[in-house]
Amino acid sequence: MNKIKIIAALVFVFAAVGVQAKPKERKSLVVYFSRADENAKVGYVTEGNTAIVAKLIAEKMNADIFEIVPEKPYPADYKSCTAYVKEEQKNKARPAYRGTVDVSPYDTIFIGYPIWWGDLPPVVYTFIEKNDMNGKTIVPFCTHEGSGMSGTAGVFRRMFKRSKITNGISILGHTAQHDRHKADIAVTTQLKLMLRFIP
C-alpha cells in the first residue's frame, strides 16, 4: 500500500514539474518581400533570395507567413529594376500590395526584405506604415551583397517606439540562393546566439 502511495505521489510531482517547466510559446509571424527574376550575383532565379530566408525562419519558429506582393511587379531585369526603385525612393513612393494580414495576435514579427539602394524597398514601407506594430518584438531580416542591414533596423526603431527592435538577421543573397545548407546554419546561429528564440 505504501509503495502505491509513493508511486502515485511521484507521478503527481513529475506531472506538476512538467506543466510548470513548459515555456510560454511566442506567437510569431514572418512577413517578407522578395523579388525573383534577375538579381545581383545570382542571375535569373525563380525564387527570390529573401523568400528563401523567410521560409527558413518560419520553419524554425513554427511561424505563420505573409508575403508582400506588389500589385505592380517590378521590372524583371536587374538594371531596369534598380533604376525603377531609385525613382520610387526619390519620389517616396508607397506601392500598393495584394492581400492583408492581421498583425494584432502576434507577439513577435519578423520582417524581411532585400536591401535596395541602402534602404528598405518602398513596398515594405507601405506595409509598415499601414500596420501598427507597437508593443511587439520586431525582428528585421535582410538579404544583401555586402551592405549588411545597412542601418534599416533604425527605421523600425523610429517608427515603433514602444516595440522591442532587435539588431536583425542578415544573409548574403548569393549564399541563400546557392548554398541552402550554409544559409540554414547562418539563420539558426543568428536566431540562437543573438535572439535566443530557438533551443
Q: pLDDT (tens digit, 9 = 90+) per residue, 123-160? A: 999 999 999 999 999 999 999 999 999 999 999 999 99
CA distances from 151 to 4, 148, 154, 166, 172 (A): 64, 8, 6, 12, 16
Burial (Cβ within 10 Å: 0-12, 13-18, ≥19) of residue 159: middle
Residues (pLDDT < 50) of the chain are: 1, 3-23
Buried b (16+ CB within 10 A) or exposed e, 178-193: eeeeebbebbeebbee
Q: Which residue has the cell 527570390?
A: 48
- Per-residue pLDDT at 23: 41
CA distances from 162 to 32, 81, 139 (A): 22, 35, 14
Q: Which of 65, 34, 63 is nearest to 51 (CA)?
A: 34
| N residues, the chain | 199
- Per-residue pLDDT at 84: 98
- Pairing outcome for strands 97-98 and 69-70: antiparallel
Interatomic CA distance for residues 15 and 162, integer angstroms? 38
CA distances from 108 to 68, 75, 81, 104, 166 (A): 17, 32, 31, 10, 11
- Per-residue pLDDT at 193: 76
